[in-house]
Structure 1
Amino acid sequence: MHAMSEVRMASFNLCNFALPRVHWHRRGAGRTYTDAQWMQKRQWIAETLAAIDADIVAFQEVVSVDALRALAAEAGYAHFACATEPRFSRDDPDIYVNSTVAIASRFPITASAEIKTFETIIDQTLLDRAATYSRRPLRCAIDVPGLGETIVYAAHFKSQGALVRDATIDAIADWDEKLDRFYVERMYAGIDQVSKRAAEAGAIYLQVREDLQADIDRPVIVLADLNDGPGSHTLAILTQAQPIEDGIGSVDLADVPPAHRFRRYIHRLYDAYALPAHADFERPVTFHADRRSSVLDYAIVSNGLHPQNPNGRGAVVGHSVFDAHFAAGAPAATTSDHAPVVVTIRARRTEAGSPVIGL
């Protein structure tokens, strides 16, 4: 168990958490679990939850919601929220076409809601009027000891991969034309998936700004599979943490009135990996499948959890990736192709409001 003054939060992509005989995206070999595989997967998830010892867990790739709620309760999470149902094929109710997200907590969830709209993003950008989240994020207000009301988001951005509709290509008889068309269609699909993640990042950023309007030091954390890397535009749009090089309007940064300079920090979000000291020379990957490895999973925090913010209610002091199943070569079907990301936050105040001893 961790110290009483510390809170641990995790992002955990479960990889097709769907009951046996529910198929993943289409029917085919290896696209559903046998009863034995399902038992193995549940056991691995339970063991992993015990190992990460997180107080709050945001889950992605949730299909069988009631099964996850029961598993979380068995693991000691008395509070559970999932606002959006997964989607199944109209033609085959045993095939799921889109998963959802959920949050399990050891502390009371006082409010929860799905985040629905892109209205502001659509009005101010080139996005189509029909644009929306590929999977609607979940926003929970959680009463966290030492931090007070903390806003936690679970999110899962648009998947990578430029998917071309089979029917579009199959309808072309001539092979030269078929191949030529395939690459053009894949290019269009690539633009769509990159722009969708960028829009999702911007929409979440605006939601977090609303959370901070009344209380700039409010603890807010986004636990997410962003489906993009640390150097991506997706992360840069979500955090707004890149340096300001050209000033604020026509005013050099050094000439911003001192009384207002602090606002440069409250309008940023922070990749929690970069906040504590690390012994690692290389950032651990969080995704490994098909001989591909990358960082896709994150804990993103508001300035209220930045270690250098003297008014923050907590400080990020640790960031861990639980990737032992990658090294062991365990099959993703009975484990996951993602590794849980866990961030440790040290509260700066006790429930009574006094400073935590030693801080």
Structure 2
Amino acid sequence: MILLETNIEQVALTPFKVKVASFNLFNYVEPPLAYYDFENIYTSEQWVKKQRWLHDFLSEQQPDIIGFQEVFSASALAEQVRDAGLSHFAVMDKPSVVDDFICRDPVVAIASKFAFEEVVSIEVDKPYAEGLGLESEFNYSRKPLRVTVVLPDIGHCDIYVVHFKSKRPSVDELPPPKTATEGQATQTNRANRANYGELLGRNVLGQWASSIQRGSEAALLFHSMMQRRVETQNAMMLMGDFNDDLSNQVLSFLTTKELRFEKDGLGELASYPLTDAYQLYCQSVSAAIDKQTPDEEIPLSQRQPTHYYGAQGNVLDYILLSQDFNPAFHTSTAEVSHYHTEDRHLINPQYDRDSHSTDHAPVVCTLCSRR
């Protein structure tokens, strides 16, 4: 807390704090609608449990801004978050509906305690997409959403919510499998080997197709964000389910700091990179500890996964921040004071509480002004 001296009295100034979260809801769809298949319809009891889990998360964490992924029933979500005090809600896209009740292609949404000055659905910049060699009909698998809010002490801030293409192999656009030749068909073992080889080969092609889609989405969005930054100089947040590790080559450029133009008199480039909120939190903790006990080891626990595939844990959900939230940058106005991964339902699930929660761990960070 900072005390401002006056001739009359001391006025206490408390740094402004805002809590931001990203939450993959995992098939948030209100019955009688179904997700992906006609059998996937929640019973009334299951739907109540799913809503209760979200209610408890909002009550415990009390985020001021939260980005959502895997939204099918936007109206139900808007009503639920409004009851939690998040009175501003935005969704710009709609899921596909087959046979009047089967939902596919979920969308992203955002809820906030701060009013939206602008709400935009991010479209693919076609000339740049074609310049990358992508087909003219290339689009985001789920359209990113941007809102602009005004945060006390921080000012205008552009917040992007994304759900990048998953790693699931994309095989729909591949040619049909090759059939065994007549000679192979008479030899069962050879035919089986050919079938297995074709299956493996198509799986690899499908995984690479998904990587191309995911990486292209991230690159095109990053370019759009940089254009917006040049125009406005607004602070930026990028949150969502990235469906990949941030260090993976197809996403690593989102936090790239490889370009250096200081020798050319363009040191302002340093204001553009994005940084993982978790890393900024670790830096803040390290700096605080160094001031108190510089010789002691920093007691930071290992980062917790946000998703598990079998026994393998991965961090797929992120909140990235512009340099406005990095204390190491000379014009920053805020910093990350806390970071939390809500993973109890993944590592120690209880059926009554968690059976219809989510397969991801929501991530939450607290931002504090540096005034």
Q: Is structure 2 residue 25 aligned with structure 1 residue 14?
A: yes
- SS of equivalent to 2:337: strand
* Mapping of residues 70-81 of structure 1, within 5 Å: 70-81=79-90
Q: Is structure 2 residue 225 aligned with structure 1 residue 208?
A: yes
Q: Is structure 2 residue 292 aligned with structure 1 residue 276?
A: no
* Superposed displacement of residue 137, structure 1: 0.5
Range 73-82 or range 283-292, more displaced: 283-292
Unaligned runs of 5+ in 2: 1-13, 186-190, 286-298
Query: What is the aligned counterpart of 1:195 among 212, 217, 220?
Result: 212
Amino acid corresponding to residue 332 of structure 2 in structure 1:
G
Pick closer, same or farther for the CA change 1:214–1:122 going to 2, 3 Å: closer
Rg larger in structure: 2
Q: Is structure 2 residue 107 aligned with structure 1 residue 100?
A: yes
Percent of counterpart pairs with the same letter?
Answer: 27
Range 62-71 or range 274-283, more displaced: 274-283
Query: What is the aligned counterpart of 1:123 among 115, 130, 133?
Result: 130
Give the TM-score taking structure 1 as reference length: 0.85
Deviations 1:219-264 (A, max 9, x none): 10011110001321233122223x35xx66xxxx7xx14x42242x
Q: Is structure 2 residue 200 aligned with structure 1 residue 183?
A: yes
Q: Is structure 2 residue 34 aligned with structure 1 residue 23?
A: yes
Amino acid corresponding to residue 204 of structure 1 in structure 2:
L
Q: Is structure 2 residue 62 aligned with structure 1 residue 42?
A: no
Counterparts of 2:26 and 2:347, CA distance in 1: 17
Counterparts of 1:138 and 1:170, CA distance in 2: 41
Partner of 1:351: none
Q: Is structure 2 residue 256 aligned with structure 1 residue 240?
A: yes
Counterparts of 1:113 and 1:260, CA distance in 2: 30
- SS of equivalent to 2:238: strand
Deviations 1:91-144 (A, max 9, x none): x33222210000000011111011111424313312222211000000001122
Counterparts of 1:336 and 1:330, CA distance in 2: 13
Unaligned runs of 5+ in 1: 349-355
Amino acid corresponding to residue 120 of structure 2 in structure 1:
A
Q: Say whether the 8 Å CA contact 2:15–2:368 is kept in structure 1.
A: no
Deviations 1:143-169 (A, max 9, x none): 222222211011000011214459956
Q: Say whether the 8 Å CA contact 1:205–1:239 is kept in structure 2.
A: no
Counterparts of 2:343 and 2:72, CA distance in 1: 23
Counterparts of 2:15 and 2:333, CA distance in 1: 15
Counterparts of 2:336 and 2:94, CA distance in 1: 32
Q: Is structure 2 residue 152 aligned with structure 1 residue 135?
A: no
Counterparts of 1:81 and 1:200, CA distance in 2: 21
Amino acid corresponding to residue 249 of structure 2 in structure 1:
H
